[in-house]
Structure 1
Amino acid sequence: MKRIYLVGFMGCGKSAIGKRLHTLTGIPFFDMDHEISEQMQMTIPEIFDQYGELYFRQLETEFLEKFPEEYCIVATGGGVAVKEENIQLMRESGIVFFLNASFRDIWRRISTDVNRPIVQQSSRQELEALYKKRKPKYLHSAHFTVETTGKSLTDIAEYIIFQIERYQ
């Protein structure tokens, strides 16, 4: 068994679903943003403010290249699938699940989140345009697309577990 990667736009439920998968399977769970934040001893907004988005994207690539855990669940950052290098790293080292949520659902979850630098710097229209721009990348990166709208965390996690078992 390889890593299980959860990709998708910010607010699509990667961390929540990753935690539920961990609860149901016992497979170790890691949140990429949390791990990078711990490594840098800074919040994600502080990293963006001090070093910029390109630096943060490089930290994501380094995480994928160097993270020591092999058998685990990883909730990726919302922009990790933008780089082709990251897509290759994920597809070669694991199974990639795109958590597809509607922008309406995502906006409801992220619109007031002060820990998301891109949300704080963008209008709803700009974020929706970014969502539409990134969606083809998420689809390209994924072995499986998981429709999340109207489904519980447990339903989504059980579907992912079913696909993992079939994939092995």
Structure 2
Amino acid sequence: MEAIYLIGFMGAGKTSVSQELAIKLEIPVYDTDREIVKLSGKTINEIFAIDGEEKFRDLESEVLHSMPLGNAVVSTGGGIIGSKKNRLFLNEKMNVVFLNANFSTIMERLKDDDTRPLLSQYNVEAAEKLYNLRLPLYREAANIEVGASGKSVSTIVDEIIQRMKK
């Protein structure tokens, strides 16, 4: 089976869904943010603070392009689609799933999360602008779109599996 890539805005549920999807399919799961931390030896917040967002985006692209091509679920960072090179890479894949959660759902999920560098430097209006800017990029990169608001993780996982069969 070709690898399954989950994309979407921060807080869309990529990490939770990827873990349950991998268990259900009995394949390994990778998280690009965790792989960046391993590669750099720094937290995401430290990379943003010390090296800047551009360095983080370079590491993000490097990690994405090093992920297994088969028998894996890959959860990506919310901004991975900002790079044309990354969107082209994802366009070549069969199973790229955009978890589309509406903005109010995302803000509710992230209200107590202080680990998101882009949320800490943006106010809600700026975060919503970023969300709206990225929406068409997610759609450009994905070949499956699944609504992720108001659904359980298991419902989303089942929907992904069903949609991949088509």
The TM-score with structure 1 as length reference comes to 0.94
Give, in whole Å, the separation in 2 of the partners of 1:139 and 1:161: 19
Cross-structure match for 1:95: 95
How many angstroms apart in 2 are the aligned matches of 1:75 and 1:55? 20
- Structure 2 Cα separation of the partners of residues 117 and 111 of structure 1: 13
Aligned to 2:10: 10
In the TM superposition, residue 68 of structure 1 has moved relative to its aligned partner by 4.3
8 Å contact from structure 2 (residues 4, 73) kept in 1: yes
Counterpart residue type for residue 66 of structure 2: K
Contact 2:2/2:69 (CA < 8 Å) preserved in 1? no
Q: Distance in 1 between matches of 2:94 and 2:71?
A: 9
Q: Which residue of 1 aligns with 2:75?
A: 75
Distance 1:22 1:68, change over 3 A: closer
CA 1:112–1:55: 2 relative to 1, 3 Å: same
Cα displacement (A) at 1:94: 4.2
Report the CA distance between 1:165 and its aligned residue: 2.5
Report if the CA contact (8 A) 1:5-1:94 is conserved.
no
Please report how far the alpha carbon of residue 70 of structure 1 lies from its aligned counterpart in structure 2 after TM superposition. 3.1
Once residues 100 and 65 of structure 2 are traced to their aligned partners in structure 1, the CA distance between those partners, rounded to angstroms, is 25
SS at match of 1:112: coil
Instruction: Within 5 Å, give how 1:127-142 maps onto structure 2.
Output: 127-142=127-142
Write the distance in 1 (CA, Å) between the matches of 2:28 and 2:41. 22
Which one-letter code corresponds to 2:130 in the other structure?
Answer: L
Name the aligned partner's letter for residue 11 of structure 1: G
Partner of 2:85: 85
> RMSD of the alignment, in Å?
1.2
Question: For 2:82 and 2:67, how far apart are their aligned partners in 1?
Answer: 19
Any conservation in 2 of the 1:111–1:119 contact (CA below 8 Å)? no
Q: Are 2:67 and 2:74, in contact at CA under 8 Å, matched by a contact in 1?
A: no
Structure 1 distance, partners of 2:149, 2:10, is: 15
Give me the whole-angstrom Cα distance separating, in 2, the residues matched to 1:20 and 1:119. 26
Q: Which runs of 4+ in 1 moved over 4 A?
A: none
How far off is 1:67 after superposition?
Answer: 2.8
The within-5 A match list for 1:1-168 is: 1-68=1-68, 70-166=70-166
Query: What's the % identity of the aligned pairs?
Result: 39
| Structure 2 segments unaligned to the other structure (5+ residues) | none
Matches of 2:12 and 2:114 in 1, distance apart?
Answer: 16
Q: Deviations over 1:38-96 (max 9, x none)?
A: 11111100011111111111111111222345321011000001111101112224411
Structure 1 unmatched ranges of 5 or more: none
The separation in 2 between residues aligned to 1:69 and 1:3, in whole angstroms, is 5
